[in-house]
Chains A and B, each alone.
Chain A
Amino acid sequence: DARVTQTPRHKVTEMGQEVTMRCQPILGHNTVFWYRQTMMQGLELLAYFRNRAPLDDSGMPKDRFSAEMPDATLATLKIQPSEPRDSAVYFCASGLAGTSGGPRKTQYFGPGTRLLVL
């Protein structure tokens, strides 16, 4: 049963601390997306990778957030320093690249990391 995995599932930290979230995409998927979800904003795209290359990080606050994909099985999202307004659920999703649409564009979500910054 192929699934996207994320760690940690929950994180409570104090303002100013570094937070690192990890994601393992589904084997064979070559696109990875990081989303942040809040009640007010819904799902916001933070960053996305295709074949490990960052293609869009326009939704990410550059001064404190960074996203990397050191290899095909690991994507990371870091916040340094963290702030209370970063409290949210962070989802990673994976999918397939290419110009064809239809079901190939389905994104599969991980369970999320619930972050609380005090």
Chain B
Amino acid sequence: QKEVEQNSGPLSVPEGAIASLNCTYSDRGSQSFFWYRQYSGKSPELIMFIYSNGDKEDGRFTAQLNKASQYVSLLIRDSQPSDSATYLCAVYSGGGADGLTFGKGTHLIIQP
């Protein structure tokens, strides 16, 4: 059973600070990792993907991957109230299947 674990939160961060969201996964053979943002009442939208160990930066967002520890994180710098949402971690395990395994998400609140 492939599992993706996230702290459900809520995670409360003051505006302008760094928000750190974490995700662990059970399948050691997992290949690709995705972060989706979901605003209340809306559908998940892709923020970033990462598939190599290390950091990947895109604007205010940085994804970090450590395959040895089976850990992926998302950092949001200079947090804005508009970043308040639920962040879903998703993992692709390969093996010929196409699906992603999603965590249940972390609810992030940016306090003005």
A interface residues (Cβ-Cβ under 8 A, vs B): 31, 33, 41-43, 45, 48, 50, 55-56, 91, 95-99, 101-103, 105-112
- The count of chain B contact residues (Cβ–Cβ below 8 Å) is 23
B interface residues (Cβ-Cβ under 8 A, vs A): 31-32, 34, 42-46, 49, 51, 88, 90, 92, 94, 96-100, 102-105
Complex-state Cα separation, A95 to B100, whole angstroms:
11
Chain B nearest Cβ from A48, distance in angstroms: 6
Chain B contact surface mostly: loop
Q: Which residues of A contact B100 (CB under 8 A)?
A: 105, 107
The total of interchain contacts (Cβ-Cβ below 8 angstroms) comes to 58
Among residues of A, the one whose C-beta sits closest to the C-beta of B105 is A42
Q: Are A108 and B88 CB-contacts (below 8 A) given A99-B94, A101-B31? A: no
Q: Which residues of A contact B46 (CB under 8 A)?
A: 106-108
Q: Are B105 and A109 in contact (CB under 8 A)?
A: no
